[in-house]
C-alpha cells in the first residue's frame, strides 16, 4: 500500500502547481489561456527564418508567419514561410491544441532549431500561437 501511495503523492505534487497556474491565467504565450504577461520573449536567438538558418543547433527561435503546406508522407512536418524564407517545422498534433490553422492563418511559433548532418534545418515547435 505504501509503495502505491508514494507515486500518487509525487504525481499530485507535480500536477497541483500547474493547475494553480492555469487557474491564475499563467503567462500569455504559454499553455495557459487568459491574463498574464504580454510582451517580448527573452532569450530568443532568431525571429526570422533567415536568421534561424544561421543559428546553431538547439537555438531558441520565435517565428511569425504562415504554415503553407504539410510535407507529403508526414503528419507532423510542415513548410513555414515568413517573408525572409522558408523552413521545415516539426509540429506535434498536441501543439495545435484543437485549433484549425490554414495557409491564410498568421501564427507565431516558439521552439528550437534542429540541425542534423545531411538533413535540412528544421524547427522543433513547442508552442503555437495564432496571431490576430
Which residue from 92, 82, 73 is spatially nearest to 53, judged by alpha carbons? 82
- pLDDT reported for residue 55: 92
Residues of the chain whose pLDDT is less than 50?
6-30
- pLDDT reported for residue 24: 38
- pLDDT reported for residue 45: 83
Q: Phi-psi bin for 130: left (phi > 0), alpha (psi -120 to 50), beta?
A: beta
- pLDDT reported for residue 132: 87
User: Structural domains in the chain?
Assistant: 1-36 (no CATH), 49-130 (2.40.50.200)
Tell me the three cell numbers of residue 98: 484543437
Amino acid at each position: 500500500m505504501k509503495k502505491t501511495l508514494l507515486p500518487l503523492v509525487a504525481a499530485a505534487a507535480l500536477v497541483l502547481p500547474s493547475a494553480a497556474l492555469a487557474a491564475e491565467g499563467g503567462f500569455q504565450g504559454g499553455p495557459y489561456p487568459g491574463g498574464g504577461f504580454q510582451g517580448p520573449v527573452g532569450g530568443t536567438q532568431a525571429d526570422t527564418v533567415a536568421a534561424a538558418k544561421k543559428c546553431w543547433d538547439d537555438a531558441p527561435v520565435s517565428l511569425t508567419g504562415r504554415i503553407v503546406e504539410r510535407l507529403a508522407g508526414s503528419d507532423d512536418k510542415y513548410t513555414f514561410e515568413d517573408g525572409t524564407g522558408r523552413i521545415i517545422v516539426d509540429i506535434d498534433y498536441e501543439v495545435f491544441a484543437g485549433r484549425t490553422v490554414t495557409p491564410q492563418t498568421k501564427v507565431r511559433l516558439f521552439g528550437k532549431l534542429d540541425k542534423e548532418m545531411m538533413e535540412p534545418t528544421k524547427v522543433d515547435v513547442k508552442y503555437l500561437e495564432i496571431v490576430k
